[in-house]
Amino acid sequence: MTPIGVTVAAIVGLAIEGAAQAPATRDGPALANFGRRVAAYVELHKRVANSLPSLTLTDNPAEIAGREAALGGAIRAARSGARRGDIMTPQVAGLFQRAIRIDFRRRSREERQAMMEDIPRFRPIVNQTYPSEWPLATFPAGLLEVMPPLPEILEYRLLSESLILRDVPANIVVDFILNVY
């Protein structure tokens, strides 16, 4: 696994000509803070998940959906005061926006159009359930390589105007950044 500060700082550094300080050094504190906030969320997720009844091994979609809904509801209750920017602070949001914009602008016009056609078009809200009517568009592999790695329970997803941090087992929007393209 690549250290958090290296990947995003490296791609953002490509777009920052003549910067007085190396991106990894300058952006390191923001990325380290992001890592701490992600770790704190993961601990909250584990604590909440451990407080719920165990899900037995099942192929029953209703039982799986029920567990997802219960976990999402319990996390929402535990994070009732959560706001945009609690995990992806303005400092790290700027880094992520630049990385996404660089990746997007490097694509051909046809690639951009295809990418935008596959991306869901809804405005996220912290703690909302990811709407089942919208597909989970694949996150661009090249961009994923430069983003800080996430624990297994979290993933990045792009929307029409946003980057979201999604809790996979709970299917909720943990945090988001607007205006990423």
Domain residue limits, the chain: 4-178
- Summarised one tens digit per residue, pLDDT across range 97-146 is 999 999 999 999 999 999 899 899 999 999 999 999 999 988 999 899 99
At 148, is the pLDDT very low, low, confident or very high (cuts 50, 70, 90)? Answer: very high
Tokens encoding 93 = 């949001």
The predicted pLDDT at position 167 comes to 98
Q: What is the mean pLDDT of residues 147-174?
A: 96
Contact by Cβ (8 Å): 173, 158: no
| pTM (2 d.p.) | 0.84
Q: Does position 181 have pLDDT exceeding 80, yes or no? A: yes
Whole-angstrom distance, CA of residue 170 vs CA of residue 157:
15
pLDDT of residue 8: 60
On whether the CB atoms of residues 166 and 120 are closer than 8 A, the answer is no
Buried b (16+ CB within 10 A) or exposed e, 66-82: ebbebbbbbbbeebeeb
Average pLDDT in the 25-36 region?
A: 89
Report the greatest alpha carbon distance in the chain: 57
